[in-house]
Structure 1
Amino acid sequence: MTTPIPARSTATKRITLLVVCVTTAMLMLDIAVVNTALPSIAVDLDAGVSSLQWVIDAYTLALATAVLGAGSWADRRGRRRAFVVGLVWFTGASLLCALAPTIWFLDLARAVQGIGGAVLFACSLALLADVFDRGPARASALAAYGATIGGAFAVGPLVGGLLTELLDWRAIFFVNVPIGLVTLLLTLRWVPESRDPRPRAADVPGQLLAAAFAISASLFAVFVYTTLYLQNVLLLSPVQAGLVYLPATVAMFVVAGATAKLDRVVPTRVSLSCSLALVAVGLLMMTVAEADSSKYVLLPGLVVACAAAGVFNPVMSGIVLGESTAAHSGLAAGINDAFRQTGIAVGVAVLGVFLPAESLLPGGSPQDFVSGLQGALVAAAFVAALGTVVCAVCLRPRPQTAPVFGDAESDTVEFPAVTG
């Protein structure tokens, strides 16, 4: 005998969605806003290239390492309880980042911050699944969630540029404190509790997770270096560099919102493989950048790649939820986000190999940086193209049934079978 999800009020649904989206935006922004602040951090804390790179990698690696265990723990102990712990942890760590006296203190604080982010990421999809029944309402919620992931990452350079230029680089971390406190209060008041009485391993296919890894290791990772190109080579201010991303951000939001209806007419295999292929195309379009190019040289490629990501993110989130029961949604979300965050961390590290270390800081050779950036863009496009092949080959259109949220045993839904 199964227990259906209890009916949730409209206010509960809306505020839960608001809390999840705001928190997710904060987590993604804490990767992207740092990009435009790196030159200022380097000057203020007298940081070298290696220690500066760990400002990003310490956060994403800690997040990726902890998110799987966090999802399993949340399923057992309660997703709302875990979410509250994550909010308190992340907010406190953000304050430590803002007060960092040295670059190594900042790197350590970013790792601590990443652990709190792991707990929040692991709970986000599970909280949505608990309050939204499958159908149009859940599809719309996932579209908003997907738009938040991509949009926050894309608008991050602009936000980071504004805060750095108008205030100080420390403001990019201070701003998390009031946001964290407000979302904490909303969570305690409105978000319902849910847990798994019999937790077990999630059944999310590894091939699909390798699709999640591909977009993070390519598009999202390369943003670090395109932002440095705009500032250090084209000599744009942090705000000007952030504004370059704005049209692509708008495109991502618009496309992500439209995907609520897309899954009814387009197979997921087609949506995922085509979106990753377009990401690869967009990255290749950006290789035309030169040391003396216009500040808009990256824009066409950014729009194509970000619009494609607007399709990928909500479709991928829907598959993760569709292939796990309500009881195990936290673990499933944790696995998904582990691959996503690992992809960003690995991508930033690997793509950085193409750029000479001295060219990454102000005063370095513009031509050396551009040559390295072009190589990094080609490598990122290859990763996205590889993800395209994985989706096209591993997702077959043969339907099968699987338990879904709401009724873990009797309710079923059709989705493409996965082959290994």
Structure 2
Amino acid sequence: MRKWGPLTAVCLGTFMLLLDVTIVIVALPDMAHALGASLSELQWVIDVYALALAALLLGTGAAADLLGRRRLHVAGVALFAAASLACGLASSPEALVAARAVQGLGAAGMFATTLPLLGSVYQGKDRSVALGLWGAVSGAAAALGPVVGGLLAEGPGWRWIFFVNLPVSVAAIWLTRRTVPESRAPRGGRIDWAGTVAFAGFAGLTTYAVVRAGSAGWTSTRTLTTFALAALALLCFVLVERRAAQPLIDLSLFRTPAFVGVMAAALAYNASAFAVLPYTSVWLQTVLGMSPVHGGLAVLPLAATAFVASAVGGRLLHGVQPRLSIGGGLALIGAGTLAQGVLGAGSSWTALLPGLVLAGVGIGLVAPALAGAALSSVPAERAGMAGGAMNTFRQLGYAFGVAIFGSVLTARMQDSLTQGQAHALAGGGAGELRRAGVPEDALRGAFASGLNGAALLAGVIGLLAAVAVLILVRPRRAAEQASEVARPEAAAATR
């Protein structure tokens, strides 16, 4: 317990917070029915959690360095638990979205401290083992979300996908306080609040613009104005970070091709692998008539293959360059997602099986290697910043992916349905459309066409990211590593 207790505590929190990114997927139809939620509200139930997590991750990481990483980690778990209770008790879509945003804030406090806590406890070979297991838990959590969500939604009800977090949170807090030592950054500083606000504005406005574009139109005044405000927020973030004494992220890191490649991989990984799944779940349940459990089990091959590939690949690929593991994994994810875009009006869930298995193998290769690649793409003193940026880009990829693929889905549906029918169908309203007289073949064909379009775009994103990683992420030269070792030694000699 003394040696691996900290890893268990951190992985318990990580599993819980990443599980909640995807656990709501199979419960979306039940939520829509119980709360009267529209498609855009369902998208925000998914996106606002990932957005809050991504937008506040770097800021909470800086706060943890000042206030204490264990202290902020425990506070994050407590806030996450309180918000989970509020999610389970929500009586309207607006209340659920607001509670999910607070839940994302708590998750940011947990997630921002995971890598620094592991880095402060484990060294050498133990650190490699700890990072590998943490990566495997991260991939398995995101992939298992639909299965766990299906079991809870069909059993005690969709509200229990949030209530189940309460006992897990208690266990995580107890184990963290018992086994994880407190740690802080070696030097004092202050939190970059201006950068945090500007980055949160950019992420939120961009997602809002994409979500609204599906109904208002991509060239509407409202959509273009929101995109312009998002661009302005991004410009403010760049200006603030260039002048900040202790920025959230040193923009000079983006001059390093390896760092750019790893960030592109993180963004594309979550988008390509997971962001189509919410709409796949709606198709399985409301169009094919599967129960939440069966809908979750239909995507179980993704989770199972990811777990096996992660466990086996960690041993067989030991010593292989991260660019090959990540690039090859993204290529498999892209190919697997493309293979899911073959649906027709008469297709069943088995049409997804080959693509899910292929993508699962890719997830198992990418998840464990991504954290290590982020840490090794920058000098040692920037490792914490690189890890935080990698996790931020992952969550942004999921949030942007859900918004973009939802717009593609409804746009393709409108080839055979009206705009109102397309949005109702994508939001789980197949039953109402049937009762309104829309033919079954039209509903099946429209949803299959929409999913094919979303899968095509997701697959292309994965393949392009694989090429970018293979080109940009190169092994660091021995001379660079030697200079990093020499700098502290030279400083010591000068003193």
Same topology, TM > 0.5: yes
CA shift, 1:70, in A, is: 1.1
| 1:184 aligned partner | 173
Shift in CA distance, 398/124, structure 1 to aligned 2, threshold 3 Å: closer
Shift in CA distance, 258/409, structure 1 to aligned 2, threshold 3 Å: farther
1:159 equivalenced with 2:213 (yes/no):
no
Q: Is the Cα–Cα contact under 8 Å of residues 119 and 127 in structure 2 kept in the other structure?
A: yes
1:106 equivalenced with 2:96 (yes/no):
yes
1:50 equivalenced with 2:40 (yes/no):
yes
1:377 equivalenced with 2:455 (yes/no):
yes
| 2:465 aligned partner | 387
CA shift, 1:248, in A, is: 2.5
Distance 2:472 2:54 in 1: 24
| 1:415 aligned partner | none
TM-score by length of 2: 0.76
Distance 1:339 1:320 in 2: 11
CA shift, 1:328, in A, is: 5.5
> Which structure: greater strand fraction?
1
1:170 equivalenced with 2:159 (yes/no):
yes
Q: Given residue 392 of structure 1, which amino acid in structure 2 is its aligned partner?
A: L
CA shift, 1:327, in A, is: 6.5
Distance 1:377 1:127 in 2: 37
Deviation string, structure 1 residues 261-319 (Cα, Å, up to 9, x no partner): 45543212211111111111101111122232232221111111111111111111112
| 1:28 aligned partner | 18
| 1:91 aligned partner | 81
1:358 equivalenced with 2:347 (yes/no):
no
Secondary structure of the residue aligned to 2:55 is helix
| 1:41 aligned partner | 31
Distance 1:355 1:402 in 2: 47
| 1:246 aligned partner | 300
| 1:349 aligned partner | 403
Shift in CA distance, 90/341, structure 1 to aligned 2, threshold 3 Å: same
Distance 2:72 2:103 in 1: 15
1:236 equivalenced with 2:290 (yes/no):
yes
* Bigger relative contact order, structure 1 or 2 (CA pairs below 8 A, ≥6 apart): 1
Moved more, 324-333 or 103-112: 324-333
Shift in CA distance, 50/266, structure 1 to aligned 2, threshold 3 Å: same
Secondary structure of the residue aligned to 1:13 is coil
Distance 2:376 2:471 in 1: 20
Secondary structure of the residue aligned to 1:277 is helix
| 2:109 aligned partner | 119
Distance 2:487 2:154 in 1: 51
Deviation string, structure 1 residues 1-39 (Cα, Å, up to 9, x no partner): xxxxxxxxxx23311111121211111111211011111
Moved more, 71-80 or 374-383: 71-80
> Which structure: greater helix fraction?
2
Distance 2:375 2:120 in 1: 11
Distance 2:148 2:488 in 1: 45
Distance 1:89 1:376 in 2: 34
Counterpart of 1:79 (choices 58, 69, 72) is: 69
Shift in CA distance, 235/132, structure 1 to aligned 2, threshold 3 Å: same
Distance 1:310 1:89 in 2: 30
1:298 equivalenced with 2:352 (yes/no):
yes
Distance 2:376 2:454 in 1: 34
Q: Given residue 222 of structure 1, which amino acid in structure 2 is its aligned partner?
A: V
| 2:55 aligned partner | 65
Unaligned runs of 5+ in 2: 190-245, 254-258, 411-422, 434-442, 490-495
| 2:373 aligned partner | 319
Q: Is the Cα–Cα contact under 8 Å of residues 275 and 311 in structure 1 kept in the other structure?
A: yes
CA shift, 1:96, in A, is: 0.8
Shift in CA distance, 407/85, structure 1 to aligned 2, threshold 3 Å: farther
Distance 1:150 1:307 in 2: 11
Q: Is the Cα–Cα contact under 8 Å of residues 346 and 444 in structure 2 kept in the other structure?
A: no
Q: Is the Cα–Cα contact under 8 Å of residues 278 and 304 in structure 1 kept in the other structure?
A: yes
Q: Given residue 389 of structure 2, which amino acid in structure 1 is its aligned partner?
A: I
Q: Is the Cα–Cα contact under 8 Å of residues 323 and 402 in structure 1 kept in the other structure?
A: no
| 2:237 aligned partner | none
TM-score by length of 1: 0.89
CA shift, 1:224, in A, is: 1.2
Distance 2:120 2:378 in 1: 13
Distance 1:72 1:22 in 2: 22
Q: Given residue 386 of structure 1, which amino acid in structure 2 is its aligned partner?
A: L
Q: Given residue 12 of structure 2, which amino acid in structure 1 is its aligned partner?
A: V
Distance 2:314 2:379 in 1: 21
Distance 2:486 2:114 in 1: 20
Distance 2:306 2:185 in 1: 34
CA shift, 1:130, in A, is: 1.6
Q: Given residue 65 of structure 2, which amino acid in structure 1 is its aligned partner?
A: D
Distance 2:129 2:392 in 1: 24
CA shift, 1:355, in A, is: 1.8
Task: State which structure, 1 or 2, has the greater radius of gyration over its C-alpha atoms.
Answer: 2
Q: How many residues are treated as equivalent by the alignment?
A: 399
